Amino acid sequence: MLDCLNLLDTAGDVYLDTLVRVAQTAFGVETVLISLIDRDRQWFKARQGIDISETPRDISFCSHTILQPDSLIVPDALDDPRFSDNPLVTAAPRVRLYAGHPIVINGFPIGSLCLLHPRPRQLSDAEQAMLRDLATLAEGYVIQRLQNTHIRTLYEALDAERLRAMTDPLTRTWNREGLEYLAPVLLSEAGASNMQLGVLCCDLDHFKAINDRYGHAIGDQVLVQAALRLKAVLRADDLLIRLGGEEFGVLLLVNQTDELEILAERVRLALLDKPMTCGSDAISITVSVGAAIKRDEELIEGTFSRADQAMYRAKTNGRNRIELA
């Protein structure tokens, strides 16, 4: 479920960032996190007092928190057999106090609001109540955010099994089945909001050369990292789809063509920004992007076709560029 909420690997949020700053001051602790629990990692949607953005899930305190309905309070992690040999306890940041409360969306625990401190301490009843209240505020903000988007429609209609079928297992983006379901949802929203439906077709440049030189396992890592970078620069309602191989599509609502071009440039720069670290290799990659606005009476397949043709023009004209259909 978390993959489809469009929260993972997204840009910072001013409201959640404010919430963790307030919590840090209110509790007098070194670190406050809003931690989202992915399949094999925890990723921090908001953080205060720590520089890293994620850790492996198997050392995460919060992976224990989401398994229970109420707060998990650990006054001294060194005295708790579940955590006493945890590398977050035995080495920096040397956590002693941990207190977390689960964040639950539509009945699914997706993460927690948590406090960490390098000295052991108890939380008073009033502090425990405040932790629950702040977690409820974070939860409510995420729910409100979803209620303002097409994602709400998606969750009302689909069960977990169907969602999995609509997700690419490698990059955890939507797949073509997801595109077929989501396109009419966005078309309806475009009509209701008097906006236009835009399409980006994005193809990684010289990707075959990466597979030939480094092997397909490294090529897969490049695809995964490319998807993460694209998610990070797209907006909450923009839909990233793996169309196949090294080609991604983006379905999005815009007010005018200029806005589509700005978002396309953001996508191009996301991959150009810095090399990707894959094992011991630093791999640089660029992307060619074709952009199109859906015409009146045009089927979405036609819009994708025009964006795809524009993308091939970008490749013909030198790659690492944007062409507008």
Hey, how many other C-beta atoms are within 10 angstroms of the C-beta on 180? Answer: 12
Give tens-digit pLDDT for 215-264: 999 999 999 999 988 988 887 778 899 999 999 999 999 988 999 999 99
Hey, how many other C-beta atoms are within 10 angstroms of the C-beta on 305? Answer: 16
Ranges for all domains in the chain classified under CATH 3.30.70.270:
160-324
State yes or no: is 246 an active-site residue.
yes
Is the pTM of the predicted complex or chain greater than 0.75? no
> Average pLDDT for residues 266-272, to the nearest whole number?
92
- The answer to whether 119 and 91 are in contact (CB under 8 A) is no
Is the confidence at residue 30, as pLDDT, over 70? yes
Is the confidence at residue 214, as pLDDT, over 70? yes
Query: In whole angstroms, how large is the CA radius of gyration of the chain?
Result: 22
pLDDT at 144: 72
> Average pLDDT for residues 4-16, to the nearest whole number?
74
Q: What is the CATH number of domain 2-147?
A: 3.30.450.40
pLDDT at 130: 97
User: Which spans in 100-167 are helix H?
Assistant: 125-147, 151-157, 160-165
Query: 160-324: which CATH topology?
Result: Alpha-Beta Plaits (3.30.70)
What one-letter code names the amino acid at 37? I
> How many angstroms separate the CA atoms of 102 and 109, rounded?
6
Ranges for all domains in the chain classified under CATH 3.30.450.40:
2-147
pLDDT at 6: 66
Q: Name the active-site residue from 246, 247, 259, 261.
A: 246
> How many angstroms separate the CA atoms of 159 and 178, rounded?
13
Mean of all residue pLDDT scores within the chain: 90
Is the confidence at residue 1, as pLDDT, over 60? no
pLDDT at 157: 62
Confidence of residue 320 (pLDDT cuts 50, 70, 90): very high
Give tens-digit pLDDT for 141-187: 887 766 555 555 565 566 667 778 888 989 989 999 989 988 888 88
Give tens-digit pLDDT for 270-303: 998 789 888 788 999 999 999 999 999 899 999 9
pLDDT at 2: 65
DSSP for 217-280, written as a single string: HHHHHHHHHHHHHHHHHS-TT-EEEEEETTEEEEEEEESSHHHHHHHHHHHHHHHHSS-EEETT
pLDDT at 3: 60
Give tens-digit pLDDT for 75-126: 999 999 999 999 999 999 999 999 999 998 877 899 999 999 999 999 999 9
Who wins on pLDDT, 43 or 106?
Answer: 43
Who wins on pLDDT, 38 or 73?
Answer: 73
